[in-house]
A and B are shown apart, each in its own frame.
Chain A
Amino acid sequence: MDVTVIIPTLGDRPAMLIEAIESVYGQMVEVKGIIVVVDGSDEARRRVGELIEGRPRVEVVTTGEGNRGVSVARNIGAELARTDYLAFLDDDDVWRAGHLAAFCEDVFDVGLSAFWKQRSNMCAHEKTPPAVLHPRRFLVTNGGCRGSNLVVRSEFYRSIGGFDPQLRVFNDVDFAIRASLVSNIRYRRNRSRDVVFRTQAGRRISGADSRVYRESAHYFYKRYAAMMTNLERKRFRVWIATVGQISLDETK
């Protein structure tokens, strides 16, 4: 498949990164390349490079300064890719063998696979992307776009500006909303749960502390509040309070 896999990483969990990369090699279709984007210093990039040395078709780059966020890391990888399609995979997630194959015999702009969250080898929860990509499905919950389950046509990705660097959090739902606002988008979903989110002790590559979380939530809300009904605004507050583990008062 003419696809480049972009793996953002902080470089601080080598074992998980290796497993993520191995899950790419384990796909039923072969990818053109893997770009590991280290959101860290040159030193971090060197360590990751040594870690994966000898593995085929992998390139390691860095965001330059470090801690610029997952959106910046993904966008840097996307700029370097020369394939028709891009697929994203956070370093703490893995794909099951059928993820890319579900999309390989089709022409589309955005594809999303169903995913599940693994906790102690058990399925803690799962989510199937929507049948129809519509902004309403992402305004007050994440309707099913989590970065690692996203496959997107490169040209389309660039045409909507990639992930928003301002958003450390909500970047995935923001991307899905902007994509869904494009008329005549060719969207595909894969209902097979081929993407696995793993619970681990460290912070997620797309995670953030409560201050950054609140800032992102506020930025997201300002952008989309006009599209929400009153009930959706209330639900949005409940959503960010629950996911961000902050009080409802803090969402005001």
Chain B
Amino acid sequence: MKPPPLRLLCDSNPMCYGSSAAMLAILEHVDAICTAMVRDVTAELLGRDKAVDGVIHVDNKSPMAVRDAVDLAQFDAVLVVSNQSNVALYTEVGLPIFFVDVLYWCGARKDQPVWRLAERSFVQQFPGVEERVQKQAYREPPVVVGPLIRSVPAHKAHRTGTLIQIGGARSQWIRPGENSSFPRMVVDWICHNELELPRPWTFAGGREAAKVARQHPLADQMDVVSYPYDEFLNELHGSELYVTTPGQGAIFEGLRTDVDMLVLPPQNATQVLQLQIYEQFGLVSPGLNLMALDPAFDSSLLQSTEERLTPEVLQSLRRIDSPEVADVVGRHLQRQYKELAKVRSARQEFVEFLGAPGGSVVAEALSRWWSEQWM
């Protein structure tokens, strides 16, 4: 029996660029009518992407708001990426859940109800993920998938310029405005130090970040843009050099594109932890993390929860907002650029460790499940 079109509700974490980017990396392989719940960052990414057929503006961190705004009976399944707020609601109305955790290696607990209530669950590969899966007593362990990044567009013949990306720093514990200095600091690190990086320079960030960056007096040295995801990837593939915060998807995309890449200091708690791992793997030499830049940083909180680490990270970012630290970061970036050859083998090893992009694996599971229902 030929299945009818799958009506898929899409629920990604509105606090996290990576969650929505991962959602799009899956949706580009999914044959379904896709409706995304959007708010803030998710509206920026999902609301203007051709992989999404429609959006519902709703605070999808609030099950009550979702219940009021979304007619859940109109959907056959929900694809949830790193947002557990509505799991009980979906279960109550009988909406099958496909759950993806993009930050499985991070966070105190991995035994929440979603791990037994989801039809299928997936976790994005990262150092520590497989060990953690094995330690948990899941009745049905999640499938570990490769990087949830979009397909690589055709390479441009000539790569030129430098693309600097900072995404958008949000988390459950960062309120708007609390780390608004970071885009300005990045402009400062690059422009004030007159780094010898390929020109022209393009600064890519979320709308709020781009707005802040444009206010820097030296911002006229770069083109400050807030790209839709597809356009960002095209820009990345046409760039000679990529400078990025130590996010997850942003680094994965740089590695997959095989563009020369420099790493910036972190702007939130998970990036602090990720940068530690990138340093351990030799993707970037030590010296850029908050523990190195800020002698007052309380390293004991690294073992704590994101909730407890975040205020310390935000305070630390304020402490390193100084000309002295800008000089240190500028010198580090320049050294990274001169020593790109030194990280090539580490990059290759890390790419092999991560495996092939995983969006199609999740999409295939969805498609297979939907077909099964109609047999």
Contact = CB atoms under 8 A, between A and B. Distances in A.
B372 A137 contact: no
Nearest to A229: B73
Contacts of A226: none
B93 interface: yes
Interface in B341-375: 369, 372-375
Interface in B111-149: 116-119, 140
Nearest to B374: A141
A55 to B, nearest CB: 34
B375 A127 contact: yes
Given A128-B372, A131-B119, A132-B117, A243 B1 contact: yes
B contact residues, range? 20 to 34
A242 B372 contact: no
A235 B372 contact: no
Contact of A141 (B73, B116, B373): B373
Contact of B91 (A126, A132, A242): A132
Given A141-B373, A141-B374, A143-B373, A131 B94 contact: no
B311 interface: no
A131 B73 contact: no
Contact of A135 (B74, B94, B369, B374): B94
A208 B369 CA distance: 28
Interface residues of A, number: 22
A246 B296 CA distance: 76
Interface string B1-20: 10010000000000000000
A32 interface: no
Interface in A91-139: 117, 125-128, 130-132, 134-137
Contacts of B73: 229
Contacts of B372: 125-128
Nearest to A142: B373
Contact of A134 (B4, B94, B369, B373): B94
Nearest to B139: A188
A136 B96 CA distance: 10
A190 to B, nearest CB: 10
Given A134-B94, A141-B373, A143-B373, 5 more contacts: A125-B375, A127-B373, A131-B116, A135-B94, A242-B1
5 contacts: A125-B372, A127-B372, A143-B373, A191-B140, A229-B74
